[in-house]
Amino acid sequence: MTQTIAFQGEPGAYSHQACRETYPGAAALPCRTFEDAIEAVRGGTADLAMLPVENSTFGRVADIHHLLPGSGLHIIAEAFVRVRIALLALPGTKLADIEQAMSHPMLLGQCRGFLEAHGIKRITGADTAGSARQVAETAVPETAALASALAGEIYGLDTLADGIEDEGDNTTRFLVMAPAPDLARRGDAGMMTSLVFTVRNIPAALYKAMGGFATNGVNMTKLESYMVGGSFSATQFYADIEGHPEDANVALALEELEYFTSQMNILGVYPRDPRRD
C-alpha cells in the first residue's frame, strides 16, 4: 500500500521536493498550514508529515517548535534538502524577455545578485510554488517565478536558469513525523534524539542540566529557548542530541537533565542523516 505524506504548501513547494526525495514512491498531500499537515496524520488521512524546522541561511522556521510538543506525533526521521532556486517562465520565453520575477520574499532575497545582474524587478508572491502556478495561469511572458524545478515541471514552465541563489549551500532541514515512535532502529550514521524541557525555577538550573551532557560525552547539536503560555518566566527549551536514549551515556545525561527540569518530553528518536556532515 502506498504511503501518503502530508506537507504544508502547494504542489511544487520545497516541502514537496523533500517528500519526493526522501520517499520517492509515496503520494504527497498538500496542506494549507502546518497544523493541517499534522492533523492529516492524526486523522489518518496521511501516514507521515514532512515539516521544515530550520534553514541554513534564515534559521528556524517560525512556529514549528511550538507545534511539535502538542502535536501528538513523533519524529521518526530527518531529511536535508538542498534549496536550488530556478527562474521559471512560460514555454518559449527567453531570459532576455523577463522583466520581473515573483516569489516568496525569502526567495527574492536569496537571488539579489542574479536579479540585479539581469535587470529583473522583484514581485512579492504568497509562496514559491503558488507564484509558479500564478505565472502559468496569468500567462504574462515578461513575468517569471522563482521556485523549485519541480514547480516548473508541475505547472508546465520552462527553467531559464537554475541554481541562481546567492548562497551556494542553502539547505533546509525537515523532520518526518508519524503517529507512533520507532525506537528499534539504529542508523548507519548514528542516532539523534530530540526533546523539549522546562528547567526548574532554581539558581543555575540550566547550567547544571547541561552539565550532564558534557560530563557524559553527549554532543548537543541544537539548543533553543522560547516562551510558553505567554509567560516571561516559564521558558521551554528544544534540544537535539546525538545518540539513542538506550545508550549508556545518553541515559545518564537524560537522568541528570530530568532532575533539574519540571517537565521533559522526548519528541523523537531517529537515524542521523549523513547529510549533516
CB 172 within 8 A of CB 83: yes
Rounded to the nearest 5 degrees, what angle is found at the Cα of 83, between the Cα atoms of 176 and 243?
40
Would strands 121-124 and 86-89 be described as parallel, antiparallel, or unpaired? Answer: unpaired
Beta strands across the sheet bearing 121-124:
121-124, 100-103, 143-147, 86-89, 158-162
166 burial type by CB count under 10 A (0-12 exposed, 13-18 middle, 19+ buried): middle
Rounded to the nearest 5 degrees, what angle is found at the Cα of 81, between the Cα atoms of 244 and 59?
80
Q: Of the residues 174, 197, 237, 260, which is catalytic? A: 174
Decide if 174 is catalytic: yes
Q: Of the residues 22, 93, 128, 172, which is catalytic? A: 172
Decide if 235 is catalytic: no
Tell me which residues are annotated as active site: 172, 174
